[in-house]
Structure formats: structure tokens, C-alpha cells
Chain A
Amino acid sequence: MRESTIMKIHYGTALAAVALVAVHILMRLTQGFAESLEYESVLANYKFIPYAAMLELILILLAVHGFNGLRVILLELKQGRSYEKAVSYGCLAAMIALIAYGSRTIIMTNMGMV
């Protein structure tokens, strides 16, 4: 993928994440902080599909943005063909793993496995 395409995704995910995290914080403000983190309350959030979809989207946006940022930092730190390949594929794998793990939590809750 061209670097300009990657950077467009990088900037886009940052802007979208700011908007969605703002909505997420506003939703949390409807309850008290301690109440918001209660077990039943968290499960209820995951079972409310529109909100769970938004959390999933935030997870994807932040994982893509964060791991690309890490890739850029690591590429500037050291150079070399094999090192750069390892960094790029390593960050991609870590990004997929994090999204998969986060999605698993939401899916398991909705399937009644929690």
C-alpha cells in the first residue's frame, strides 16, 4: 500500500476516533462513574447493539491509528530491509490480534456466554 494511502487512513481514523470517543464519554456521563463500571452495567452496554457497534468501531479506529503510529516511530528509530518488514508485519499482526480480542468480548456477551 502506498504511504499516502496509509497516512490518509491514519488521519481519518484519528478524526473519527475523536468524534466517537466524545460520544462514548457523553454516554458515560449519563451515569455515575462507579455505576458505569458495574458488571451488570457493562454487560448491558455490550448487549445494546448500536452502542456495542460504536465501541467496536472505536476499537478498530484506535487499533489502526495506534499501531500505524507505532510502526512510524519504529521505522524512524532504525532502518534496514528485514527490520522494516518485521515492524510492518508485526504491527499489522498486533493490530488484528487486538481487534480480534476486543471483538471476542462483545460477541461472547451477546451470545450469552458471559
Chain B
Amino acid sequence: MAQVSGIADEQTSTPLSSSNTILLRISRFNPEHDDSSQFMEFTVPYERWTTVLEAILDVKKHFDHSVAVRYSCRQATCGSCGMMINGKPRLACFTKISELNSNVVTVEPMNNFPIIRDLAVKFERLFDTHQKIKPYLIRDDSELVSDEREFLQSPEEVEQYIQFANCIKCGLCNSACPTMATDSSFVGPQALAQAYRYVADSRDKGKDSRLKIIDDSHGIWRCHFAGSCSQVCPKGVDPAMGIQLLRGYLLGFRS
């Protein structure tokens, strides 16, 4: 375990004037060289509004530029910076250090994802399962005829699925899911929630084909309803509820 406390001289750096500091512990692991992960510790200044991502970028700028982290929008829209922050899956750009109420902030890669390096993980499984449930509107009519306009929906019809359309594919739900940890073939809460999003859409005609895909020995029935997926979603999506509603279709309670 290495600890770096000094700040390297840098002419162009932003001023680090805050008197508040935290100990930022970053998990370092390169599967090509390392047998196991180890933590590096950095003393980082922060303000009330400083996010964990900003603290990590501070470390990259001033202490160790080799820390691997994936990020893009910095506003909880792209879903790139998911990681374990003090043991809980969160978006680093959406988590302020001050709200953690701790002098020590530990960041690790998300659980249930293979590690590329340090905090960056592979998303192949998430994207594969997402793609598998056909995340698009399926219609019988292949083209619109000239007198048709857009497919109109009532507010009630939109209400059926709109919260599930907020998913940003950050993978935090899959990271929190206990079934994902043991069942390597499980579809996962992200894909199941998206299956519900399209099944519940009044414009969609692909319900039967989607239900057939998730009605598998590693599909929807392997959810234990722990609810941790819904607890960690930064966009307020409730995958656990979506999964229960989907089960309603398969058990014949909904049509």
C-alpha cells in the first residue's frame, strides 16, 4: 500500500485552496501484471461541492496520471463513471465527497464486472444482455403510410414505462445484484427493466418475443427480489418493480 501526501508542482494546475482534506483510497489492479488489487492512498483537498470523480481527476492531475478511470459527461447522463464508493455502487460524478460523511473515501471497480484496469470495467455482458431483449419498438408495419403521423400515446400510457426509459446503462444495478454475483448467465436487472420498458409501451408489438427471451432458466425467475438494484439506481429507475410487473405478464396476471 503506497501513500502519497504531497502535491506535485504544476504551473497550470487549478488552485487547491481548501483546508478540508480526505484520504482517497484507490484500488489499483492491472490483470496483465498483478495477481491481486492493492490500494493507493492520496490526501486530496475538497470543497462542499467536490465530487468523487473530481477528486480522482485531481489525483490523476497532481499525483499519478496512470490511474485508470472511465468518465465523460460529469453530470450523471452518460453512465460511464460507475464504481464502488465506500462499498456502495455509485456514479463518481454524482456523489459529493461531503455527502459521504467520512474522512476516508475508498473507490473500487464495480462488482460483477471484469476489470480492465483500476476502476475501469468491461461492459460487454451488460451490453449483450441489453441487446438480447430487443431494446427497440417492434411493429408489424414496417413503414408509415402517408396519412399517418407519429404514434400518439395518452399520458396514462406513457406513465406505464417512462421511469424505465431513464436508464443510462451505467451498470450500477447489475453491480449491486446478488444473483449477478453467482449466476454468470443471469440476464440481470438492467436488461429485465428494459424488457419491461418496451413490453409496457403501447406502441410496441414485440411483447411475446421479449417474454420468450426472458422466460429462461437464467432469466427473470432467478431474481430473488433483493431490491438492491432499485436502491442504487442514480436515475430513480426501479428495476425490481419492473421485474415483478414482468412476472405478472408471465404468470397471467397482466396482459
Contact = CB atoms under 8 A, between A and B. Distances in A.
Question: Which of B215, B216, B217, B222 has the largest number of chain A CB atoms within 10 A?
Answer: B217
A75 B215 contact: no
Contact of B183 (A3, A7, A76): A76
B185 A79 contact: yes
A79 B183 CA distance: 7
A3 B184 contact: no
A98 to B, nearest CB: 22
A3 B215 contact: yes
Interface in A1-46: 2-4, 7-8, 11
B182 A3 contact: no
B221 A4 contact: yes
B221 A7 contact: yes
B251 A75 contact: no
Interface of A: 2-4, 7-8, 11, 72, 75-77, 79, 84
Contacts of A76: 179, 182-183, 186, 222
Contacts of A11: 251
7 contacts: A4-B250, A7-B221, A76-B182, A76-B183, A79-B185, A79-B218, A84-B217
Identify whether the interface residues of B are mostly helix, strand, loop, or mixed.
Answer: loop
B219 interface: yes
Given A8-B251, A79-B184, A3 B216 contact: yes
A75 B221 contact: no
Interface residues of B, number: 15
Interface in B206-223: 215-219, 221-222
B215 to A, nearest CB: 5
Contacts of A7: 221, 250-251
A68 to B, nearest CB: 11
Nearest to B183: A76
Contact of B182 (A2, A4, A77, A84): A77
Contacts of B184: 79
B219 A3 contact: yes
Given A76-B182, A79-B183, A4 B217 contact: no
A86 to B, nearest CB: 13
B215 A2 contact: yes
Contacts of B222: 72, 75-76
Given A72-B222, A76-B222, A79-B218, A4 B251 contact: yes
A75 B218 contact: yes
Contacts of A79: 183-185, 218
Contacts of B179: 76
A2 B185 CA distance: 17
Given A4-B221, A4-B251, A7-B250, 20 more contacts: A2-B215, A3-B215, A3-B216, A3-B221, A4-B215, A7-B221, A7-B251, A8-B251, A11-B251, A72-B221, A72-B222, A75-B183, A75-B217, A75-B218, A76-B183, A76-B186, A76-B222, A79-B184, A79-B218, A84-B217
